[in-house]
Structure 1
C-alpha cells in the first residue's frame, strides 16, 4: 500500500499527498536510467527493468549502464531483466520504451501487474497503425489503469548529473479539482514521489496536449538538424521552431488538447531543447541527413531508437486523417519515407501559399506565392 509522506505538501499544506515508495522503471535506456536515478534521489525504493541481459550484467558488475555509461547507478537501484521480478510489490510503474514497442510491452506488464497500480508513460510518440497516443495505447491494453504522462525538456545526461530540470506531469483526474482534492490526484502524487532539489515537476490535466508536444517535437528536431547540416544559420531554425509550434497547436487542439499546454514545458520547452542541441538523437540524425548521409546508413549504425523517424510517418498520417495542416512534419515524412530530396522539400515549404500567422486569420487568407 502507498505510504504517507511526512514532508510538507506544497500543493496544500493542510493535507499530505500519498507518495509511492516502491517505483519500477520499465525501460533501461538512457532516459529510463536517469529517471531511476531521480526516483532514488527522491528517496524511493527503485527497480530498473532492462531488456538487454548484457546491460544488466554490466550494471551488476560495475554499476554502469552501457546506455548511460558516464553516470554510475547507485548501489540501491535494483537492475533486472526479469519483468515479473521488477514489478513484484511495486506501487508505481514508469514506462520508458520506444513508442512503437509500447503496445506489446503493455501486454507483458499486464501479465504481472495487479489492477490499480498506476502507470506513468514517458514514451513519446503516436502509434503508426492506429494513430493512438501513448496513454490511449495503455488504456486499450490495460483498461481501467490509472494513467499519467511525463514530458518536458530533459536530456538524460543532465538529469542524471543532477542539473536543474523542470518537467510536466499530466493526469486526467486534475480536471475540475478543488484545493482540497488536488493533492490526491495521480499527477500530484507522482510529482511528490519524484521531486528532488534538482528535478521539479509541474502539473497538468491536459494529457493530449502534453503527449502531442512530446511526439511532434522529435519530427521537428529532424527538420532543424537538416537545416544545421545544410550549413544554414539561426534564421531557419527559429522559423522551424515557431512554425513547428503552430503545427503542434493545430494537432493538439484537433485532438481535444489545450493551446496553453503547447506554450509550456511539454510544448515549447521540449521543442526548443530538442531542436537546438546535438545531444538530441533526432537533431543529430537530421544534421547527418543534411550533410548528405542517407537515413538507411544512419539507422543501420544506431543502437538507440530515433523516434522522429518513426513518428514522422504516424504524425503525417494522423494530420492527413484529421485534415490538420502540418507542412513541416509532412515534408519530413516525404524526405524520410517518400524519397523527396531535401532541397526540394525546403523549396516546397518556402513557396507554399502565403498565410496569416494568427489562428483567427490563417483559414481566411491564402495568397499565391509569386515564386511558386
Structure 2
C-alpha cells in the first residue's frame, strides 16, 4: 500500500520517519516551501530537532503527489481538516484517509471521521490515535496506537501497512469512541495542567484526571461510543500520557493558565477549541461536563484557575 502524509508538523513527520525506517516509501507533503527545501537538501526535520529523515521519505510541496498514494495520513490540525479536504477533493477521492488530529470541529461539532465522510463520500475514513509523542515515535521508541475504521477489512489492511517493529497498532470499528477519547482527553489535560500550574498538588491532579475520564465516558457513550474503547489506548491510555507530561501542548497550556502566564495563540492546542465544542455538545444532549465547562471558560479568559477550582469544589455533593 503506497502511503502519503499530508502535513509535516512534528507528528506527521514522526509517522513518516517511523514508516520509512521500516522500509516503506513515504511521500511527505508540506505547505511551507522553505521547510520542503530544507528537508530535501539537508534531510532534517524542522519540527523534530536532531532527527534525520530516512531515504524512504520524499518531501514535496506539490499536493498533486498525494494523488499517487493509496492511503493518506491527514496530519493537519483538526480545525483545518475540512478546508484541506475541500482544497484537495480531486486528489484524495477514493482513498483511505486516516485522520491523525485529535479534536472536534468547533463550527459543526463534528468528529474527524464523520467530517471526512461528509466531505469525501467516496473515500474510506479512518483514524489513528492513542498515547504518543512525536519525539518518541521519531526516535523509534515503542508505541502502541489505535487504528479506527468502520470497514473492518480496510482497517486491518491499514493496520498491517502502518505498523512497524516499534509502532504497534490495534484496530477497532468504533470510530466514535476512538476519536472522542482522543479529542476530549486534551480538554482534561488543560485542566490538569492548570491544577499543577496553580500549585494545587498531585491529589487534585489525580482527582481531575478521574472525574475528567468520567466526563469523557459520559459524553462519548451518549454519542454511541463503546465503553471498552474508552478504557483502551485511545481513551484512558491517551488521557494518562497527555495529563502527565509537559511534552503535551495541552498540558503545557494548562500550566501556563494555572500560573497566570500568557500563551502564544500561534501554537495549535487542540483542546482549546475542543473544550467549547464539548460544552455545546453536552448542552445539546442535556449532560453536565463541569471540568470541560471551566476549561472552556479559562481558555476564553472568563475565569482564572483559582476561580475554576472553586467552581468545581462548590458543586453539590453527590455519589460517584
1:178 corresponds to which residue? Answer: none
Is it true that 1:314 corresponds to 2:277 in the alignment?
yes
Matches within 5 A, 1:340-355: 340-355=303-318
1:235 is displaced (CA, Å) by 0.7
Instruction: Confirm or deny: 8 A CA contact 2:12 2:75 kept in the other structure.
Output: yes
Q: Which runs of 5+ in 1 are unaligned?
A: 1-19, 175-184, 358-372
Which structure's CA Rg is the greater one? 1
The range that moved more, 120-129 or 317-326, is 317-326
1:107-157 per-position Cα deviation (integer Å, ceiling 9, x unaligned): 1221223x4211111111111111111111111111131121110001000
1:76 is displaced (CA, Å) by 2.3
The CA distance in 2 between the partners of 1:51 and 1:314, in whole Å, is: 27
Instruction: Confirm or deny: 8 A CA contact 1:56 1:65 kept in the other structure.
Output: no
Q: Is the partner of 1:201 in helix, strand or coil?
A: strand
2:94 corresponds to which residue? Answer: 116
Is it true that 1:88 corresponds to 2:60 in the alignment?
no
Instruction: Confirm or deny: 8 A CA contact 1:148 1:186 kept in the other structure.
Output: no
Matches within 5 A, 1:1-372: 20=1, 22-85=2-65, 87-113=66-92, 115-174=93-152, 185-294=153-262, 298-300=263-265, 302=266, 304-337=267-300, 339-357=302-320
1:201-237 per-position Cα deviation (integer Å, ceiling 9, x unaligned): 0111110000001111111111111111112221111
Instruction: Confirm or deny: 8 A CA contact 1:27 1:49 kept in the other structure.
Output: yes
1:72-113 per-position Cα deviation (integer Å, ceiling 9, x unaligned): 11122001111112x132111110111110001011221223
Superposition misfits of 4+ residues, deviation over 4 angstroms: none
Q: Which structure has more helix as a fraction of its residues?
A: 2
1:338 is displaced (CA, Å) by 5.4
State the superposition RMSD in angstroms: 1.3
The CA distance in 2 between the partners of 1:299 and 1:118, in whole Å, is: 34
The CA distance in 2 between the partners of 1:318 and 1:34, in whole Å, is: 32
Instruction: Confirm or deny: 8 A CA contact 1:152 1:166 kept in the other structure.
Output: yes
Q: Which runs of 5+ in 2 are unaligned?
A: none
The CA distance in 2 between the partners of 1:73 and 1:233, in whole Å, is: 41
